Structure 1
Amino acid sequence: MKIKKIITNTVTVLAVGMAAVSGVMKLSGNPDVVKMLDTVGVGQYRMLLGIAEIAFAALFAFPKTMKIGFILLTAYFAGAMATEVSHHMMINALTPLVLIWIAAFLRNRYIFLPAHDQDNL
Structure 2
Amino acid sequence: MWFSAIKLALNAGTHIYKKKQETKMLMADAQMNHAQKMSKGDIEYSGKLLEARQADYKDEAILIILSLPIAILAYGVFSEDVEAMEKIKVFFEHFQQLPSWFTNLWILVVASVYGIKGTQIFKGKK
Interval of TM-score (by shorter of Structure 1 and Structure 2):
0.3 to 0.5
Higher helix residue share = 1
TM-score (norm 1): 0.34
Structure with larger Rg: 2
Q: What TM-score, normalized by structure 2, do the two folds share? A: 0.33
